[in-house]
Chain A
Amino acid sequence: MDETTNEQTTETKPERGFCTGGHVVLRPVKEQDLPELARLLAENPFEREPLPWTYQRLKQKFEDKEKPGLWEDRTHYFTIVRKTGGVVGFLHESEDFNPGVCWNRLHIDEAAADRDLLGPDAIWAYLEYKRRWHNPHRLSFNILRPEEDKAGWLTQAGFELELVMERVLLYRGVPEAECLYTWLSPQALANRADDGPVAGEPGG
């Protein structure tokens, strides 16, 4: 309440979450995110296993009696919101059965004019969060080859292209490759086994 005017004020509280960058916050999905999240999930080429997400299906999952929400034991959806409010993307994290290994997907609203600012910021925030609380040894993001902007964001954040798997899925009618960008912890690199080449590999 504003005492000078005696009118109700609508002060906006800054967004809070699990990880905070310069421009965005990553937090578990809230019910209010679902309509916008459904639209963003539909934009991402990987988010269709086994079926495309719709608002109805997303809401059903969110309210599921046995596994409610979008935060399960090993699979986590983060909503990416601007610090000033407004859903702009999501990050989908899948923990491997190997401790410290995560496979991720990232999406920033294709209509956001400042997505080249938001994308790297979200990746940095996630990386800092993982390093602080989870002691990861390898973190990866799967992107499609045509997603060149994401490749740039990941490279900026210290991820390297590690693997290209050709003809993984149809994207706009064309068979496209999946590219894996990876960050490795210093201890993983220091303790990486030298197993030598395998069959079919140069020198193997």
Chain B
Amino acid sequence: MHTIWSGERVRLRPFKDEKEYSGLVDCLHGVPNDFWGAWWDPRPRLAKDFEPAGMLDPVKYSAFAVERLDTGELVGYEEHGGPDPGTIRAWVGTFILPEHWHNGFGVEAKQLCYCYLFENYPVSMVWSSTLANHKRAARGLYESGMHFIGRTQAYHFTDGKYHDQVHYLITREEWERLPVRQVLRRGS
């Protein structure tokens, strides 16, 4: 199973070590997210997550490092979860450092992760969700090839209001038509 997936802008790869993983997560979530709020975990917990499989566990919570192809910089991570026994779905989530936004890195990272999941696991769809007020994240999901499937209402509390959660998915058939499959490089 390949663990390095390259497109035109970014590469997904395993984290080099726990220090790289925890350092990035700490950098991304050291202050509350504008939409989700606090998303912080203490360093020992991150290390404990990393220890068993370097964040690439076939069943548990996993994450790839996202690296820019032009500069080689680490710009974020692509989290995902493979299918539990009996289920035929997987999920993804993307975090990109703010200074690297608006370059299409998040969209391509998601698409590469779809390739990793659909090529290696018996999943029929990959899903993701965000908040209804997080328009940029919703657009990223849509532009990556997912389609909107619905809302869960009044899910997340921020500034005195309950915001809906919005849900998207991409089926195996939709993934098979994605142009990224033509430029994808596995293992480099």
Contacts and interface: CB of A to CB of B under 8 A. Distances in A.
B164 A192 contact: yes
Nearest to B83: A169
Given A138-B154, A170-B88, A191 B160 contact: yes
Interface stretch (A44-52, A69-77, A118-126): A44-52
Contact of B162 (A175, A192, A196, A199): A192
Contact of A182 (B125, B133, B152, B169): B152
Nearest to B169: A165
Contacts of B167: 163, 165
5 contacts: A137-B162, A138-B154, A162-B151, A188-B153, A198-B142
B68 interface: no
Interface residues of B, number: 42
A112 B163 CA distance: 40
B161 A191 contact: yes
A184 interface: yes
Interface of A: 45, 48-52, 98-99, 101, 137-138, 140, 162-170, 175, 180, 182, 184, 188-189, 191-193, 195-196, 198-201, 204
Interface of B: 59, 84-89, 124-125, 127, 131-133, 135, 138-139, 141-143, 146-158, 160-164, 166-169, 171
B25 to A, nearest CB: 17
B164 A195 contact: yes
A50 B88 contact: no
